[in-house]
Amino acid sequence: MSSKQRVGIIGGVRIPFCRNNTAYADVGNLGMSIKTLGSLVEKYGLHGVELGEVAMGAVIHHSSDWNLAREAALSSGLAPTTPGITMARACGTSLDTAIHIGNKIAVGQIEAGIAGGSDTTSDVPIVYGRKLQQRLLATVRAKTPLDKLKTFLRGFSLGELKPHFPGVAEPRTGKSMGDHCEQMAKEWKISRQDQDKLAWDSHQKGAAAYQNGFFKDLVVPFRGVERDNILRPDTSLEKLATLKPAFDKTSGQGTLTAGNSTPLTDGASAVLLGSEAWAAARGLKIQAFLTHAKVAAVDFVHGEGLLMAPTIAVAQMLKDANLTLQDFDFYEIHEAFAAQVLCTLRAWENADYCKNRLGLDAPLGSIDPARMNVNGSSLALGHPFAATGARIVATLAKLLEEKGSGRGLISICTAGGMGVTAILERP
Residue 246 DSSP SS3: coil
**Rounded distance between C-alpha atoms, residue 169 and residue 190, angstroms:** 23
**Rounded distance between C-alpha atoms, residue 132 and residue 397, angstroms:** 49
Q: Do residues 419 and 411 make contact, with C-beta atoms less than 8 angstroms apart?
A: yes
Question: What single DSSP character describes residue 140?
Answer: H
91 is catalytic: yes
Question: Which residue out of 18, 91, 181, 354 is catalytically annotated?
Answer: 91
How would you classify the pairing of strands 18-19 and 7-14? unpaired
Question: Which residue out of 181, 343, 354, 413 is catalytically annotated?
Answer: 413
Element (H, E) at 329: none
Q: How many CB atoms lie within 10 A of CB 305?
A: 22
How would you classify the pairing of strands 112-119 and 53-56? parallel
Per DSSP, helices labelled H in 188-337 are 192-211, 237-241, 276-281, 309-321
383 is catalytic: yes
For residue 221, the Cα-to-chain-centroid distance in whole angstroms is 20
343 is catalytic: no
Q: Which residues pair with 20 in a beta bridge?
A: none
**Rounded distance between C-alpha atoms, residue 21 and residue 195, angstroms:** 26
Q: Do residues 120 and 24 make contact, with C-beta atoms less than 8 angstroms apart?
A: yes
Q: Which residues pair with 55 in a beta bridge?
A: 85, 115
**Rounded distance between C-alpha atoms, residue 40 and residue 273, angstroms:** 11
**Rounded distance between C-alpha atoms, residue 149 and residue 307, angstroms:** 50
Question: Which residue out of 100, 203, 292, 383 is catalytically annotated?
Answer: 383
For residue 327, the Cα-to-chain-centroid distance in whole angstroms is 24
> Nearest-CA neighbor of 93 among 69, 111, 124?
69
Active site residues: 91, 383, 413
